[in-house]
Chains A and B, each alone.
Chain A
Amino acid sequence: MKKSPNEKKEWLVDFKAATRRRLKDRLDYSFIRTFKPVLDEAKFRSFDSMKDYRQWCEQHLPRWLGYGRTL
């Protein structure tokens, strides 16, 4: 998707502001926690290959989570 020059200018402002923040602040405020259906319902999952993992995401996760290639 093509981004407008204004949007790119806004990004630059964001980038400049972020680099002024301490690493501690970046880490403390960048990680959020929301429950993701299916994905967060198992304590442990393992996949032999990334291809297997991607296929599992496509087949089992709700589309709106964005882990698939299409909506």
Chain B
Amino acid sequence: MAEPFSFRQAERLRKVLARHKVQYLFIGKSGAIILGYPDTTQDTDIFVQKTRENCVALTKALKALGFQLTKTSVEEILRGKDFIQLRNGPFDLDLIFAPDGIESFEDAWRHHVTVKGYPVCHPDDIIRSKEKANRLRDRESLPRLKAFRDYWRQKR
């Protein structure tokens, strides 16, 4: 089983993705945690721009990070899937190319937030994607996440 995601891994992820010029944003609860949201989670979710060039860069970055990508899995990433779950690397990572409730990567990028070099979806987008997904786990966490968004706005 992979190790839980940590600051050390987050730094490595950020630096390797930047080195390979991957366009991405942290999203989901992992994104909210970077923004300061106090909660726990298990997976790291990144919203990746779905262009051929970006996906090629992403596969190179993932290999550099130690993810064991087979020829087939590289092809799947390049083929333009909407969601990919990786459990074959130093930490668990979900790649989301078309999150629920978000129009486009460009739209999310326009109002994203950067925290110490980490590009993160705006909390409104994180909330919108969870609202649209409408999973039981999301419905339970949304009132607290919305309260955090309001607090975060006041503090800015």
Contacts and interface: CB of A to CB of B under 8 A. Distances in A.
A19 B147 contact: no
Nearest to B5: A31
Nearest to B129: A50
Contact of A66 (B69, B86, B87, B136): B136
Interface stretch (B15-23, B34-42, B52-60, B105-113): B34-42
Interface in B1-46: 1-7, 10, 30, 33-34, 36-42, 44
Interface of A: 1, 3, 8, 11-12, 14-15, 17-19, 23-28, 30-36, 39-40, 42-50, 52-54, 57, 65-71
Contacts of A31: 4-6, 30, 33, 40-42, 44
A23 B35 CA distance: 9
B87 A44 contact: yes
Contacts of B155: 19
A30 B148 contact: no
Given A68-B135, A68-B136, A42 B87 contact: yes
A46 B143 contact: no
Given A46-B81, A53-B82, A28 B42 contact: no
Given A19-B36, A28-B6, A50-B98, A12 B134 contact: no
B33 A71 contact: no
16 contacts: A23-B34, A23-B115, A26-B34, A26-B36, A27-B5, A27-B6, A33-B1, A33-B3, A43-B68, A44-B69, A47-B81, A47-B82, A47-B84, A48-B81, A50-B96, A66-B135
Interface string B69-99: 1100100110001111111100010001011
Given A46-B84, A50-B82, A68-B135, A33 B4 contact: yes
Nearest to B76: A46
Nearest to A67: B135
B85 A45 contact: yes
B124 interface: no
A28 B7 contact: yes
Given A14-B38, A30-B33, A50-B98, A44 B84 contact: yes
